[in-house]
Amino acid sequence: MALNKVVALAGGVGGAKLAHGLAQVLDPEQLTVVVNTGDDFEHLGLLICPDVDTVLYNLAEVQHLQQGWGRADEHFCVLEEVQRLGGPSWFRLGDRDIALHLLRRSLIDQGLSLTEVISSLAQRLGVHHAVLPMSDAPVRTMIQTPDDELSFQEYFVHQRCQPVMRGMRLAGLEQAQVSVAVAQAMTAAELVVFCPSNPFVSIDPILALPGMRSWVGERKAVAVSPIVGGKALKGPAAKMMQELGMEVQALAVAQHYAGLLDGFVLDAADAPLAVAVQALGMRVLVTDTVMHDKAGRRRLAAEILAWGERWG
Amino acid sequence: MALNKVVALAGGVGGAKLAHGLAQVLDPEQLTVVVNTGDDFEHLGLLICPDVDTVLYNLAEVQHLQQGWGRADEHFCVLEEVQRLGGPSWFRLGDRDIALHLLRRSLIDQGLSLTEVISSLAQRLGVHHAVLPMSDAPVRTMIQTPDDELSFQEYFVHQRCQPVMRGMRLAGLEQAQVSVAVAQAMTAAELVVFCPSNPFVSIDPILALPGMRSWVGERKAVAVSPIVGGKALKGPAAKMMQELGMEVQALAVAQHYAGLLDGFVLDAADAPLAVAVQALGMRVLVTDTVMHDKAGRRRLAAEILAWGERWG
């Protein structure tokens, strides 16, 4: 039986890649992408939503191909002038990207919720699948380091993940809930896919919202490992695992999600870990999880869906 | 005796030109430019302050030479993308201009007053003379037309001054007052110069603020006619005068300010009007008021100051 309602949880470049794969295989009414907003921050008078925008740009196929985030064919006229005027230029906002941010700011100022704003931006970019911020309320991932507590982008971009991570905290979580749209998508979901995103700063913030763990637990749910061959393909997941005292292995990610998931997708490079993952009570799909191009994203998405459909 | 404290009231391109002339002649501690903010508006999530920015760009000598407003050597990468995304592009914000606007938005978000924000932007542009918004509170010029009441930029830029002007209203005036900085500058002023700006939408909004007319009335004050040879050099002043039932002549501008001013500067083309202006109780300076270049701005400013110094 084909899966008619799929929810993908995503954050970061890996998440956006698989979301794009799923969007190539599923119709708009079949797929909802719920995106981490813990990385969001206010900067230069703008609300920056890095994970949401990376998903939007990938689904619209206008993302920067090498970076994975930001826009292709980008200029930096504004940022160069900001720098000349003594403003902050460490966060690399390109001109096209700033256009989207101005529209977002303007729509927020008009009183729209973040969900409504992102829906409008998606439409403008020609994205037809639902892309939902995990919450309309601000939840901000704070990284605890030996000296300080840093906002995520301060840690991730400005300090280039140099500080040691001791832990993290989700500021604003107590006041936050999922939007009605997320609740509806989760309730209707036949399959939940955790994209190959950072477990700590991309997926966990989504799961931390009230109701999410129950919804995931009650549904067929699978995760794609963001760790391949003992390394993170992109971003600080491996460094974080090390600093949090975990082994940098796909198995540790599976352990992190144990009890919540029905299935786990391992890269072929990690095939020997399959037995250990199965011992955690999960089905295992071993395949090539590294998405080199548009076709690779589609192939991985199709394999995961076919696999999920096969179980009772 | 040299004039040690001069305040210029300015709005629009003509105002910015003479402010730049005065800034060439006077030291930073001798000149304060008080600028109309009735043209300000919120657009694309930004606070746009057209008159203040035109003064800043002219004093920094980075203005677009032909237009008089906006930046020289400007690109429109952001606006092109805004347009592609279905956003409004009628207000021509260039990329360098947007950089300034992002810094303004960011400083406002940090809780600074508009006066403090403009002071920071001036410093960043290398402007050392004081440029003060007339008020920290929003005052918005609304243009009354036969069909509608339009915000100033809607009338001026979007509808290109096509609608007939029946009158105007300053929204927010009841809650507004001049800033402490403006009050200090006015109290200390030995000469107040009304730059050749639109009387209705550039100078009158400044004069409408509590205290301004008294301060001007108690001090040596002169205006430079924005009408030369029965035409406005730039902008809708002539059209407005006609629609308000006034004769389009420098004399009508002098009549508009009668009782408030000690002197009036007529262009040589309007020399025959000098007697009629004097009959209103004002001294008259007849000179070339059209500022073609940087030197022309300086010359006119120097002439006005020398003239003002000569009276007892």
Q: Looking at per-residue confidence, does B66 or B134 come out higher?
A: B134
Flag whether A150 is in a domain: no
Confidence of residue B283 (pLDDT cuts 50, 70, 90): very high
Distance from CA of B97 to the nearest CA of A (A): 8
Flag whether B163 is in a domain: no
Give pLDDT, residue B67.
87
Pairing mode, strands A263-267 and B227-228: unpaired
Hey, how many other C-beta atoms are within 10 angstroms of the C-beta on B268?
12
CA dihedral A292, A296, A297, A299 (to 10 degrees): -160
Flag whether B293 is in a domain: yes
Buried b (16+ CB within 10 A) or exposed e, B236-257: bbbebbebeebebbbbbbbebb
Give pLDDT, residue A69.
87
Looking at B26-135, list the stretches that DSSP marks H as alpha helix, in order from N- to C-terminal side: 50-59, 77-84, 95-109, 114-124
Expressed as residue numbers, the domain containing B295 is 6-141+172-310
DSSP assignment of A228-283 equals: ETTEESSSSHHHHHHHTT--SSHHHHHHHHTTT-SEEEEEGGGGGGHHHHHHTT-E
d(CA B138, CA B135): 7
d(CA B190, CA B5): 5
Interacting residues of B135 by C-beta distance below 8 A, sequence separation 6+: B37, B114, B176, B177, B178, B179, B182, B209
Nearest by CB to B82, which of A42, A43, A99?
Answer: A99
Pairing mode, strands B31-35 and B130-133: parallel
As given in the structure block, the two tokens for residue A297 are 């994203």
Flag whether A276 is in a domain: yes
Flag whether B158 is in a domain: no
Q: What is the pLDDT of residues A93-147, one digit of tens each?
A: 999 999 999 999 999 999 999 999 999 999 999 999 999 999 999 999 999 999 9
Residue A85 near chain B (CB below 8 Å):
yes
Quick check: A81 and B87 CB within 8 A? no
Give pLDDT, residue A232.
92
* Cβ atoms B105, B126 nearer than 8 A: no
Which one, of A171, A166, A115, lies nearest residue A138 by Cα? A171
Residues on chain B touching A43 (C-beta within 8 angstroms): 106
Q: What is the pLDDT of residues B62-89, one digit of tens each?
A: 999 988 889 999 999 999 999 999 999 9
Quick check: B87 and A102 CB within 8 A? yes
d(CA B127, CA B31): 12
Measured CA to CA in angstroms, residue A32 lies from A8, A182, A186 at distances of: 6, 8, 9
Residues of chain A short of pLDDT 50, as ranges, are none
Flag whether A67 is in a domain: yes
d(CA A30, CA A161): 36
Nearest by CB to B77, which of A43, A44, A75?
Answer: A75
Residues on chain A touching B78 (C-beta within 8 angstroms): 77-78, 95-96, 98-99, 102
How many independent structural domains does chain B possess? 1
Question: Which parts of chain B are beta strand (E)?
Answer: 6-10, 31-35, 41-43, 46-48, 130-133, 140-144, 149-151, 167-171, 191-194, 220-224, 227-228, 231-232, 263-267, 283-287
Nearest by CB to B85, which of A85, A100, A108?
Answer: A100
Residue B48 near chain A (CB below 8 Å):
no
Quick check: A109 and B45 CB within 8 A? yes
Mean pLDDT of B216-245: 95
Q: What is the largest CA-CA distance in chain A?
A: 61
Nearest by CB to B87, which of A46, A82, A103?
Answer: A103
* Cβ atoms B34, B10 nearer than 8 A: yes
* Cβ atoms A73, A132 nearer than 8 A: no
* Cβ atoms A51, A63 nearer than 8 A: no
Flag whether A204 is in a domain: yes
Give pLDDT, residue A95.
98
- Would residue B256 be called left, alpha or beta, if left means φ above 0 and alpha means ψ between -120 and 50 degrees? alpha
- In CATH, what number is assigned to the domain containing residue A296? 3.40.50.10680
Q: What is the mean pLDDT of chain B?
A: 96
Residues on chain B touching A87 (C-beta within 8 angstroms): 99, 102-103, 106, 124
Which one, of A222, A212, A203, A158, lies nearest residue A185 by Cα? A212
Phi, psi torsion values for B63, nearest 5 degrees: -70, 160
Q: What is the pLDDT of residues A55-81, one digit of tens each?
A: 999 999 999 998 888 999 999 999 999
Percent of chain B residues topping a pLDDT of 70: 99
Give pLDDT, residue B11.
97
Residue A111 near chain B (CB below 8 Å):
no
The vertex-B185 CA angle with B311 and B28, nearest 5°, equals 85
Mean pLDDT of B212-240: 95
Confidence of residue B1 (pLDDT cuts 50, 70, 90): low
Residues on chain A touching B42 (C-beta within 8 angstroms): 109
Flag whether A15 is in a domain: yes
d(CA B185, CA B193): 13
